Amino acid sequence: MSMEQVSANLAFGGVQGVYKHASAATGTDMTFSVYVLPHEEGAKLPVIWYLSGLTCTHANVTEKGEFRRICAELGLIFVAPDTSPRGEGVPNDAGGAYDFGLGAGFYVDATQAPFDRNYRMWTYVTEELPALIVEHFPADMERQSIMGHSMGGHGALSIALRHQERFRAVSAFSPIVAPSQVPWGIKALTGYLGDDRDAWRKHDATALIEDGARVPAILVDQGDADQFLVEQLRPDLLEKACDAAGIPLTLRMQPGYDHSYYFISTFMADHLTWHAERLR
């Protein structure tokens, strides 16, 4: 598969690149970013996948995440895809709302028209983009882990729970842990997947755990001043499900922190170090 380099910048001895390619999954051009260190010929490096939240593109974490120094120290490749298809003709929320449509793909393969034509972010993130990464970068696909923020935390948790053989670790910042039970998720899952709540459960971390999915451990950081905490995020539901399933959950409620990248960047090094320990 071919791709085009949009930009490349040297940072902490590695290259922060932004790339574009024609996606068969979404039927659009897709943009993503990759940070990678110089490496010996034939060497393979572990990979961290980072999934972003509502309204975001690859650029938010790339520009604000403050991950490059620690990735350089730990020898990690950091991959950040977009959050939805984009371009002329891609359907959007009829009212232009921020929580559905462009920038809000929710990491599912839509089954409802007209979104089923382009909104196939599950296939893009779990199949197409990994194939592109392994073809063009020194990625050790035997050592992968995944993390995300908010809607991307939902994506990271649900993908890790359904691909337990692929990811050695999963963590999240302020994740939507039970989309079937909160307004953001109910709107998105109805719009993309219809009214079949059994289909929703495959994209709901809490429901997946209740239905028997397991991972070795989960790390979650959540700000207690997050304006979305009570209505949309509900980490208490994940805590209850993990307790019942015997999944070790480290849920750190961080006093005074909100939903922003000021919060994410503060604890990014903690998460990457936690992942690196499990990728060795």
The CATH number of whichever domain residue 173 belongs to comes to: 3.40.50.1820
pLDDT of residue 1: 86
DSSP string, 227-243: TTIIIII-HHHHHHHHH
Residues 6+ apart with CB under 8 A from 231: 182, 183
pLDDT of residue 101: 98
Backbone phi, psi, residue 261, to 5°: -75, -15
Cα distance between residue 56 and residue 63, in whole Å: 12
> pTM of the prediction?
0.97
Please give the positions annotated as active site. 150, 226, 259
pLDDT of residue 206: 98
Type of residue at 250: T
Cα distance between residue 157 and residue 180, in whole Å: 14
- Return the number of other C-beta atoms located less than 10 Å from residue 254's C-beta: 17
Q: How many domains does the chain have?
A: 1
pLDDT of residue 28: 98
Show pLDDT as tens, one digit a residue, over the chain (280 residues): 899 999 999 999 999 999 999 999 999 999 999 999 988 888 999 999 999 999 999 999 999 999 999 999 999 999 999 999 999 999 999 899 999 999 999 999 999 999 999 999 999 999 999 999 999 999 999 999 999 999 999 999 999 999 999 999 999 999 999 999 999 999 999 999 999 999 999 999 999 999 999 999 999 999 999 999 999 999 999 999 999 999 999 999 999 999 999 999 999 999 999 999 999 9
At residue 114, the 3 state secondary structure works out as coil
Among 61, 18, 55, which residue's Cα sits nearest to residue 151? Answer: 55
The range of the structural domain enclosing residue 270 comes to: 4-279
Q: Measured between alpha carbons, how far is residue 276 from residues 32, 70, 100, 243 in Å? A: 22, 10, 33, 25
